[in-house]
Amino acid sequence: TPVVEVGIDIPDATIMIVEGAERFGLASLHQLRGRVGRSDKQSYCLLYSENLTEKTTKRLNYFCKNNLGVKLAEFDLANRGAGNIFGTEQHGFVNLKIANLADFELISRTKTAVEYFVGKYNIKDWEGLEKAVQKYKGERISRD
């Protein structure tokens, strides 16, 4: 992660140059773009790529036309994949047996159902579910 992405505030900065833009996720590019244009001066975010494939061009064009971070994240998820949730790969598609992480409506409905279940029931009353959650916590969540 570029250090500039995490909150450096230089209001007079007017130009951001990103080399190898194809290697960044759209959310990261959005954070970088947000480091300029913090004053009343005209600002520019210039993206350079030495590997302009059709897919890269599509992604970068979408980025140039959209300013909402959530839309950029949804586009990247649908087009680059979520990566390996339990590993180190930062992009690529996950082979889930029953879900598609780019199906945002399904994710929203699932979240609502889980919130309802957790609010109505005590997980300790569901022995099999509690064991599965404990196993998941122990095996799947990486430790620092």
Residue of 29, 12, 11 lying closest to 20 (CA atoms): 29
Whether 22 and 81 share a structural domain: yes
pLDDT digits (tens, 9 = 90+) for 14-38: 999 999 999 888 988 998 898 888 8
Mark whether 10 and 58 lie in a shared domain: yes
- Quick one: 129 and 69 in the same domain? no
The Cα–Cα gap between 97 and 100 comes to 9
Q: Domain check: are 71 and 134 in the same one?
A: no
pTM above 0.85, yes or no: no
Q: Say if residue 91 is in the same domain as residue 108.
A: no
In tens, the pLDDT along 108-143 reads: 888 888 888 878 888 788 888 878 777 766 554 444
Per the structure, the complete domain to which residue 73 belongs is given by 3-95
